[in-house]
Amino acid sequence: MPISQGMKMSQPQLLVGLDSKMARVGKHWAAVNQELPPNYPLVLLSGFERGGFDELAGRLPGLRDAVRVAELDLKLARAEYERCKREVHQWVRDINMWMRAYYRGTPWFVLVRRVPGLGQSYQHWWDAAHDALGMWRMIVKDPPAPLPGPWEWPLTLGKGKTVEKFEEAVKAFESAWWALLDPEGELKLARGALWQAQGEAAALLMAYGHGVRARLGQKGALVRAIPRLWPKRGSKAGADRALAS
C-alpha cells in the first residue's frame, strides 16, 4: 500500500511545522544509525532509509514554492478572464437597452436575453454574448428604417462601438476562458505533488518511533529522545538534553 494511503486521523497535526519536525527526526535518525551496524541501518515504510527521508525533506520547500507560483499564475489568468467578462457584460447590457428602446415587436427582439449576473458561469455568458452578436449581425445585414437620433449605418452604439468591435470583445472573452485551463491544471498537479510528499512525510513520522523501538528496544537515551511530533503536555527539555548528549 502506498505510504500516503496509510495515514491516520492524527496526520493534520503532523503537517504543522512539518519541516522542523523532519529536521529533528533526521538528526535523531543519524544518531540512531550510529548505534546500529553500518550494513543494517534503520529502515522505515517501503524501504525508506535516512537518505530518502532527507531527500524528501529537501523537496518540500520547492514543492510549496511551485504551488505558490501556480496560484499566482492562475490568479493573473482569472483576473484577465473577469476583466473580459465585465467588458462583455457592458456590451450585452448596452445592446439589450438599445433593442428595448427601438426594436420591441420586431422579429429580432425574440433574441434579446436577460443579461447574466457577473457571477454566473462562462456558459451563461457565452450564450448571451453569441445571441447578442448574432442578432446584431442580422440587423446589420438587413438594416431597418432609419432610426431617430444619432444612430447611423453601419450601426454603432455610440463611442464607436461597432459589431466588429463587439466580436473582438467576445473572442477575447473566449480566449481568456481557455487560458484558464492550463494554470488550473498546473495548480492541481503542483498541489497533488505537494500533498503526496506531505502524506509520505507524515506517514514516515508516524512510523519513526515504532521503527526506532523495534531496533533499539523500549529503553535507552535515544529511545527517550525520540522527537515529540504531536502537541503534548509537559516539557521537551528532557528529551532534547538526552539527544544532545
Mean of pLDDT values over 197-212: 91
Mean pLDDT of 179-192: 96
| 54 belongs to a structural domain | yes
**Which residues, 6 or more positions from 164, have their beta carbon under 8 angstroms from its beta carbon?**
none
Peptide bond before 154: cis, by omega within 30 degrees of 0? yes
Does residue 83 sit in the same domain as residue 64? Answer: no
User: Is 137 within the bounds of a domain?
Assistant: yes
pLDDT at residue 160 tops 50: yes
- 140 shares its domain with 178: yes
How confident is the model at residue 145, as a pLDDT?
64
| DSSP structure class, residue 38 | T
pLDDT above 50 for 241: no
Indicate the number of domains in the chain. Answer: 2
Query: Do 83 and 63 fall within a single domain?
Result: no
Residue 189 lies in a domain: no
Q: What phi and psi values does residue 238 have, to the nearest 5 degrees?
A: -65, -45
Range in 113-127, 161-175, 181-195, 216-230 the model is least confident about: 113-127
* 192 part of a folded domain: no
> What are the helix (H) ranges across the chain?
11-15, 18-35, 50-102, 122-141, 163-178, 181-216, 221-224, 237-244
> Are 174 and 93 part of one and the same domain?
yes
**121 located within any domain:** yes
Residue 101 shares a structural domain with residue 140: yes
Reading the block at residue 150, the C-alpha cell is: 444619432
pLDDT per residue as tens digits for the range 3-25: 544 455 456 778 888 999 999 99
Answer yes or no: do 170 and 205 share one domain: no
Range of the domain at 226: 3-68+200-244
Domain membership of residue 108 (yes or no) is: yes
Residue 238 banded pLDDT, cuts 50, 70, 90: very low
pLDDT for 109 equals 77
Considering the domain architecture, whether residues 149 and 211 belong to the same structural domain is answered as no
pLDDT in tens, 88-138: 998 998 888 888 877 777 777 777 878 888 888 888 889 889 988 988 888
**170 has a pLDDT exceeding 50:** yes
pLDDT at position 117 is 84
* Mean pLDDT computed over every residue of the chain: 83
pLDDT score for 161: 81
Share above pLDDT 90 across residues of the chain, in percent, rounded to a whole number: 50
Do 94 and 156 belong to one domain?
yes
pLDDT value at 243 more than 50: no
pLDDT value, residue 97: 83
Which of 183, 211, 236 is at the close of a domain?
Answer: 183
Q: Same domain for 49 and 10?
A: yes
36 with 217: CB under 8 angstroms? no
Measured from the Cβ of residue 105, the count of other Cβ atoms closer than 10 Å reads 6
Biggest distance spanned by C-alpha atoms of the chain: 99
Asked if residues 211 and 228 have their Cβ atoms less than 8 Å apart, the reply is no
Please, is 191 exposed, middle or buried when counting C-beta atoms within 10 Å of its C-beta (0-12, 13-18, 19+)? middle
Residue 213 has pLDDT above 90, yes or no: yes
85 and 179 assigned to the same domain: yes
User: Hey, how many other C-beta atoms are within 10 angstroms of the C-beta on 160?
Assistant: 7
Residue 27 lies in a domain: yes
How would DSSP label each residue in 208-220?
HHHHHHHHH-S-S
> Residue type for 158, please?
G
Give the sign of the dihedral formed by CA 198, CA 204, CA 207, CA 208: negative
pTM exceeding 0.85? no
Tell me whether residue 73 is in a domain: no
Domain co-membership, 87 together with 179: yes
Per-residue pLDDT band for 242 (boundaries 50, 70, 90) equals very low
Please check whether residues 96 and 149 belong to one and the same domain: yes
